[in-house]
Structure 1
Amino acid sequence: MKKIIFFAFFAITFGTVSSQVIYEEFNSKKLDETRKLKIQLPRNYDTNTDKKYPIVLVLDADYLFEPVAGNVDYFSYWEDMPEAIVVGVMQSGSRYKDGEYDDRSYMPIDKGASFFEFIGLELIPYIDENYRTAKFIIGVGHDFTANFLNYYLFKDPPLLNGYINLSPDLAPMMEERLVQRIPQIPEKLFYYLATGTEDIKGLQESTESLNNQLNGIESETFNYYYDNFENATHYSLVGRGIPNALEKIFSVYRPISKAEFSEVLLNKNTQVYQYLVDKYQIIKDLFGLDIPIRINDFIAVGTAAEKQNQWEAVEKLAKLAKKQYPDNVLGDYYLGRFYESQGDYRKAIRIYRSGFGKQDADFITQELLLDLADDLSARD
């Protein structure tokens, strides 16, 4: 009986914190057939009713969906990327027809052209209409379907913002076309390419050739990443490429790291407050996400500002913290630190004490603020 009760409790608890996977059948007019979809919604999607999420589109979802969805869930749990809606298209038995291209133009034809329109004109609009989506889409494909993703770069504007190409089986002329097309795209673009030393020889050689050409592209909007994994086969490189791609594409989204703190924030030329504001504006502009500044980022920037005696930045940080976290001690701490630096101890004491009864922020606690106030009282 105890085992049954424990299992039931575990199932209920796990269900409230894990991502939801929905299985749907989509009746496509473009394909004139029904396609099976897998859709993973973020944790607490149903309760965060005002939140919007980027889309990660997964082709070859028969075997790629789970590794992509698992990595998205893991990275977003630790805030290394935003939570996202993962949409997988099942292609067992149809992938080669779906990616069919003309023997002369090497562009989608027949079923390939229909599949191209299915994704852009039916599937993505359907996801946008039925789920809360942000205007940022990443596509993931492997060999034949990785090549197919590249066709969306020739739309104006491109359908996808990010492309994860895992050992692409490139159509003829694709290399030349990408090199010509990418510099013409004004929008911000993220492009990840991967192969392995034990990859299929022809695919490895063409991927390395494409990498050499993409490396030469000069464009402020083109963000390019490449991996050639040691001892990775055509299939094992997928498991290594997916997390690398997500980590690199969403690097700006991550909380401020130790390296970022020491190499950027402690640089004497960095105006730390503006750096923080700009970081979150970039997140908003790139991913369509207007998120509150993380408490850890407040603390990192506040610590750097104090170390560099940027006390005006500390004051601005305090006002921003009070606005975003009014029930938190963060704003009181930094405003108190600012007045303390100016020698206005009485005002600093009053502000520190005003933090009593508010929520703690990491190591910045009510007790710390009261101790600071007592120390200043003894000095005053």
Structure 2
Amino acid sequence: MKTSFLFLSLPLIFPCLVFSQVEYKILKSEKLQAQREIKIQLPRNYKSNTKKTYPLVLVLDGDYLFEPVAGNVDYYSYWEDMPESLVAGINQSKSRMKDTKYDKKNELPVDEGADFFEFIGGELLPLLEKNYRLSDFKIIIGHDRTANFMNYYLLKKSPIFDGYINLSPDYTDVIKSNLSIVLSASKDKIWYYIATGTDDAEELKEANSQMIDKLKKINNDNLYFYSDNIEGGTHYSLVGRAIPKAIEDIFAVYRPISSKDYEEKVLSTKGTFVEYLENKYKIIQNLYELQIKIRISDFMTISSAIEKKKKYDQYQNLGKLAKKEHPNSMIGSYFLARFYEENGRPKKAHKEYRSAFSLNEASYLTKDMMIEKINSLKEHFGL
């Protein structure tokens, strides 16, 4: 039996995902000798942006975890706090215990559990990669038993996932014994998140608190570890609060420059403000294997820093970079005009303001503002 998808696309299924496209598919699996239900949410602009590739968020327990994960991914990507991503959920409502079965002696996947392990890595992921434009960055999410199960991929020599969101994980002893060793020695970048709750099941809360303390001590530049103890969170209620926290943590570098970053990092940077901006996007590319244009909002934040610190010479490089990234926006010409204006070259500034007027408005920069700048230069310098 050849592995394939039966397409049962149902776009716009959920009201909260009005602009996203949700599809239901049936996967005929050779490994499992059965059909499995898969839910897939496409990014909002997936069909119109045909050259773009997207990270994958794979959701175990998709029968109840898919919707909260998909909703948060859609929301955070809309505000550019995470990259647009494809979300796939595996329905396990009737097979969860079999899917996560492990040997009582060595506590490794066995029988149906071993088949499900191979199904994800050997059938589902290749099929998703074949049918959708996926980047190399992949996250997996699970809850208690499935959270433990997904950690078995970390025991492999080359883990197939980059990020692991563990929601109140019910770790087996083999994972408890090996997880810190594996993460300490990892040469691959790994994002690892654990959530427990103050009102979680007592046994899980204690075990997860111990694991958090152990992982916090790891000194490995390739490990990005995060954890939360959700105040008042029960074993089930913590899920809804932990998912957005995990997204915020894993994609902290990706999101636009925040007011906190501006005050604590941008204004105190040792290099130039423009170097800070370029380095931020180089890090995004290196960490998440994504290449995105520098956001206009981040350009404007750097402009604010230049104005605040009166480092007007830096406008020259900022303007050149802005013209390269956003050639149809007025920001590049405006920055160069500010450079010439503050360096006593009104004719050059006048030319750049006129150039900006013919381009697209951005942020608080408008055509009316450019006219005011042009008229001001004419009045003061008789241009």
Residue matched to 2:291? 290
Counterpart AA for 2:201: I
Instruction: Choose 100-109 or 135-144, whichever is displaced more.
Output: 100-109
Residue matched to 1:361? 362
Residue matched to 1:310? 311
Give yes or no for the alignment of 1:146 onto 2:147: yes
Residue matched to 2:132? 131
Residue matched to 2:157? 156
Three-state SS of the structure 1 residue aligned to 2:173 is coil
Given that 2:350 and 2:377 are in contact with CA atoms closer than 8 Å, whether structure 1 keeps it comes out as yes
- For residues 295 and 212 of structure 1, do their structure 2 counterparts lie closer, same or farther at Cα, with a shift above 3 Å needed? same
Residue matched to 2:4? none
Given that 2:17 and 2:74 are in contact with CA atoms closer than 8 Å, whether structure 1 keeps it comes out as no
Tell me which stretches of 4 or more aligned residues in structure 1 moved more than 6 Å.
none
Three-state SS of the structure 2 residue aligned to 1:355 is helix
TM-score normalized by the length of structure 2: 0.93
Task: State the Cα deviation string for residues 193-241 of structure 1 (Å, max 9, x = none).
Answer: 0111111111111111111111111111111111111221110010111
Give yes or no for the alignment of 1:122 onto 2:149: no
Give yes or no for the alignment of 1:188 onto 2:189: yes
Residue matched to 1:265? 266
Counterparts of 1:46-57 in structure 2, within 5 Å, are 46-57=47-58
Residue matched to 1:85? 86
Given that 2:17 and 2:71 are in contact with CA atoms closer than 8 Å, whether structure 1 keeps it comes out as no
Three-state SS of the structure 2 residue aligned to 1:109 is coil
Given that 1:196 and 1:233 are in contact with CA atoms closer than 8 Å, whether structure 2 keeps it comes out as yes
Residue matched to 1:300? 301
Counterparts of 1:206-355 in structure 2, within 5 Å, are 206-267=207-268, 269-355=270-356
Instruction: Choose 160-169 or 281-290, whichever is displaced more.
Output: 281-290
CA–CA separation in structure 2 for the residues paired with 1:263 and 1:204: 34
Task: State the Cα deviation string for residues 128-172 of structure 1 (Å, max 9, x = none).
Answer: 111011111111100000001111112222111110000111111
Given that 2:356 and 2:370 are in contact with CA atoms closer than 8 Å, whether structure 1 keeps it comes out as yes
Task: State the Cα deviation string for residues 99-138 of structure 1 (Å, max 9, x = none).
Answer: 1112222111121111111111111111111101111111
CA RMSD of aligned residues (A): 1.6
C-alpha deviation, 1:345, in angstroms: 1.2
Counterpart AA for 2:101: E
Three-state SS of the structure 2 residue aligned to 1:86 is strand
C-alpha deviation, 1:378, in angstroms: 2.3
C-alpha deviation, 1:342, in angstroms: 1.5
TM-score normalized by the length of structure 1: 0.93
What number of residue pairs does the alignment pair up?
368
Counterpart AA for 1:186: K
Residue matched to 1:19? 20
Task: State the Cα deviation string for residues 309-348 of structure 1 (Å, max 9, x = none).
Answer: 3334311111111122222111110000111122111111
C-alpha deviation, 1:270, in angstroms: 4.2
Residue matched to 1:4? none
CA–CA separation in structure 2 for the residues paired with 1:100 and 1:58: 18
CA–CA separation in structure 1 for the residues paired with 2:200 and 2:363: 46
Task: State the Cα deviation string for residues 230-256 of structure 1 (Å, max 9, x = none).
Answer: 221110010111111011111111111
Residue matched to 1:198? 199
**Which structure 2 segments of 5+ residues have no match?**
1-11
- For residues 268 and 178 of structure 1, do their structure 2 counterparts lie closer, same or farther at Cα, with a shift above 3 Å needed? closer
CA–CA separation in structure 2 for the residues paired with 1:22 and 1:60: 17
Given that 2:139 and 2:164 are in contact with CA atoms closer than 8 Å, whether structure 1 keeps it comes out as yes
Given that 1:53 and 1:132 are in contact with CA atoms closer than 8 Å, whether structure 2 keeps it comes out as yes
